[in-house]
Structure 1
Amino acid sequence: METAAVASKDVTVSLAEKKPKVVFVLGGPGSGKGTQCAKIVQHFGYTHLSAGDLLREERDSGSENGTMIKNMMNEGKIVPSEVTIKLLQKAMVENGNDKFLIDGFPRNEENRAAFEAVTKIEPEFVLYFNCPEEELERRILNRNQGREDDNIETVRKRFKVFLESSLPVIEYYKAKGKVREIDAAKPIEEVFEAVKVIFAPKVEKVKSSRCSSCAIL
């Protein structure tokens, strides 16, 4: 137990020294988070970390932690915040990058508070893909095969959970001026144009503006 605690502390210290830039990426099911994260990685050099993917990888690893995660998932229980945060910490420390997109986390206020308390990191901002429920339903039904009623029911449940759990997180960061909201109902390329404005370095924007002026002269 002591060894695990020491190892966890070492990871936290290493991460604090690294001082990574973290962006939380939130949005309802079907809002296009994954698609846009892939584009941000390609254009702006971020590393994309999905909390869900990390949990599934650990679950399938056969480790003691993985067995616990598997049992909790099988029982329909929510994996404790500390477990997910440790996986995120480990992934960030082991990665050579210092810029991370954390996708689908924090899912709720408890996640948010625990992440900041454990890692001592506040996100640079929250990238929020806002999309109406009707559009989310349309997208997911179009990409899924099977009985429509089942799909619609599932989507509506997931969207309800998102509204109840994740919106308070968005409101918390909005009060701190840290939310960058995107209209995710638009076509993929239009959405990315809006994303690019947020991620493009300020220096680059100024330089681009000056070059335009030079061209006129």
Structure 2
Amino acid sequence: MGTNGLPAYNPYVSKIGYSDNKFTASISNSFRYRDFNFSFLVDGRFGGLIKNVQDAKQWGSGTHPESANSYRLKDWENRDSKDYKGSIMTEGLKIVKGQLSTDQDGKIISDTREFAPNDIPVLWQNWATNYYQSGPISAKDRTFVKLREIVFSYNLPASLLKNARFLRSASVSLVGRNLLYFTGKGTKTWIWINLPPPVRITRLHR
């Protein structure tokens, strides 16, 4: 903790993981019964981290659903109290004096910091804004599995096409894309809003 009771800021670039997925996988199959066809495609990406920008911005603006809680209510109820400092006093150690010095690669040269138990209350809004917008907290597991596509098709009877000069066969298809999506907490909302709606198209085959 910093001397102000808020999370201490790390001024150095630190590795918290990799953005690339460890692997991807998919499965597809198709079934046919008389003139009807059904096929599906399920795929997913596994591993890797992604920054949930929407989540971080919501915490920064105070609009995140989880930001409305008893701490925020208590701060509001005591907003006119001059002696009131805040509803949050996190457990941990605060830096009371000293300094950490490192080289350009982040290796410690000297560390004269001294610590003491944190005893500084702060407003929930100030604490949440600092904590939930930090890189390690806003980085989420980007693993997901998606029902990417299903297709229902019907092959038109040849009797309907016997007078067609340029068609020997034809089918009508109902296609749905991105119908189901499974992922962990913190990434579902961010990715879901970027999914296109299901698509319905009709196809003719010569």
Name the TM-score class by shorter chain. under 0.3
Query: Between Structure 1 and Structure 2, which shows a larger proportion of strand residues?
Result: 2
Higher relative contact order (CA 8 A, sep 6+): 1
User: Which is helix-richer, 1 or 2?
Assistant: 1
Normalising to structure 1: TM-score of the pair?
0.21
Largest Rg, 1 or 2: 2
